[in-house]
């Protein structure tokens, strides 16, 4: 059942399932909390209370916001964790991976651990030779086109590249749902504005994180020519010993949706190890 939290500037939609230690799941731009629909049951079965949130401008959250930065998204996530009686493990995908980093650095008492799925957490640059990687070139052209033109067909085309090979069993319904949401007033503009926010604010906070961090990357993620190198760079920027990188073979930019069981297993193993070290 959808619930709503009023925060400064708008309303955030979320739902909560299960009982136990809190995990908050935040999706990427142009998406909704439905991105985690296949992963939530495993987390609940493992004894967690799971809150899936729609980012500002997305899903069932309101669309009129003045700030689309990762810092603003981090504020929303922290407000939700306080509202739900944290602390919490914070899982963020893509843009919200960077937001999770900021939240953990700003209020470490509220964030017990962070999981970043294909995160945009550092300043990005295209290196010589990157565009010779077909997967990266195809994904980036579609992603940039969708953002620049506000084109729903280009966004769907990007998603097809971002889910290489294996598609979820309910892929057709997933795309229909995304299509319907993005046609709602303000949703495409929200994605465009969020996409224009640089991850530099997140990168500035990597050194300030105090709890354990798991970074999960897909080997076929089209958003980077070398996904492993991006994951390794994030781990290297964290305080020594806090970060861990896991690669999912064959996954693109949505490992939690392409391979939900494998992603959930990585998250739960990471949390068990973090608890054992605490």
With 90 as the cut, is the pLDDT of residue 86 above it?
A: no
What is the reported pLDDT for 206? 97
Q: Cα-Cα-Cα-Cα dihedral of 11, 205, 142, 167, to 10°?
A: -80
Averaged pLDDT, 3-24: 97
CA distance 62 to 13: 8
The 8-class DSSP code of residue 126 comes to P
CA distance 260 to 44: 13
pTM value?
0.95
Cα separations in angstroms, 232 against 201, 227, 236, 243: 19, 9, 6, 9
What is the reported pLDDT for 166? 86
Cα separations in angstroms, 120 against 154, 203, 231: 21, 9, 10
> Whose CA is closest to 157, among 177, 141, 181, 173?
141
Mean pLDDT of the chain: 96
With 90 as the cut, is the pLDDT of residue 278 above it?
A: no
Averaged pLDDT, 207-222: 97
Using one digit for the tens of pLDDT, what is the confidence trace for 165-206?
989 999 999 999 999 999 999 999 999 999 999 999 999 999
Identify the sign of the CA torsion 167, 221, 197, 150: negative
Given pLDDT bands bounded at 50, 70 and 90, which one contains residue 162?
Answer: very high
Question: Of 10-24, 42-56, 123-137, 240-254, where does mean pLDDT reach its minimum?
Answer: 123-137
For each of the domains in the chain, give its residue range(s) and CATH number, in order of start.
3-277 (3.40.50.1820)
Given pLDDT bands bounded at 50, 70 and 90, which one contains residue 126?
Answer: confident
Using one digit for the tens of pLDDT, what is the confidence trace for 66-84?
999 999 999 999 999 999 9
What is the reported pLDDT for 65? 95
Averaged pLDDT, 82-97: 96
What is the reported pLDDT for 122? 95
């Amino acid at each position: 059942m959808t619930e709503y939290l009023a925060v400064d500037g708008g309303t955030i939609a979320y739902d909560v399932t299960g009982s136990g230690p809190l995990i908050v799941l935040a999706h990427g731009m142009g998406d909704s909390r439905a991105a985690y629909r296949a992963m939530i049951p495993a987390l609940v079965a493992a004894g967690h209370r799971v809150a899936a949130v729609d980012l500002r401008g997305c899903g069932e959250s309101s669309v009129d916001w003045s700030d689309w930065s990762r810092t603003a998204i981090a504020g929303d996530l922290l407000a939700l964790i306080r509202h739900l009686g944290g602390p919490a493990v914070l899982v963020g995908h893509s843009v919200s991976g960077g937001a999770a980093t900021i939240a953990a650095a700003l209020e470490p008492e509220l964030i017990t651990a962070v999981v970043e799925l294909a995160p945009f957490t550092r300043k990005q640059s295209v290196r010589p030779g990157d565009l010779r990687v077909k997967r990266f070139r195809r994904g980036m052209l579609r992603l940039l086109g969708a953002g620049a033109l506000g084109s729903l067909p280009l966004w769907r085309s990007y998603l097809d590249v971002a889910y290489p090979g294996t598609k979820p069993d309910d892929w057709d319904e997933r795309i229909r749902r995304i299509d319907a949401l993005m046609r709602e007033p303000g949703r495409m503009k929200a994605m465009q504005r969020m996409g224009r926010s640089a991850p530099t604010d997140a990168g500035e906070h990597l050194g300030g994180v105090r709890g354990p961090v798991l970074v999960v990357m897909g080997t076929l993620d089209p958003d980077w020519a070398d996904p492993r190198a991006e994951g390794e760079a994030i781990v290297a920027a964290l305080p020594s010993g806090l970060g861990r990188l896991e690669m999912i073979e064959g996954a693109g930019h949505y490992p939690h949706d392409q391979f939900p069981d494998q992603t959930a297993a990585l998250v739960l193993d990471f949390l068990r190890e973090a608890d054992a070290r605490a």
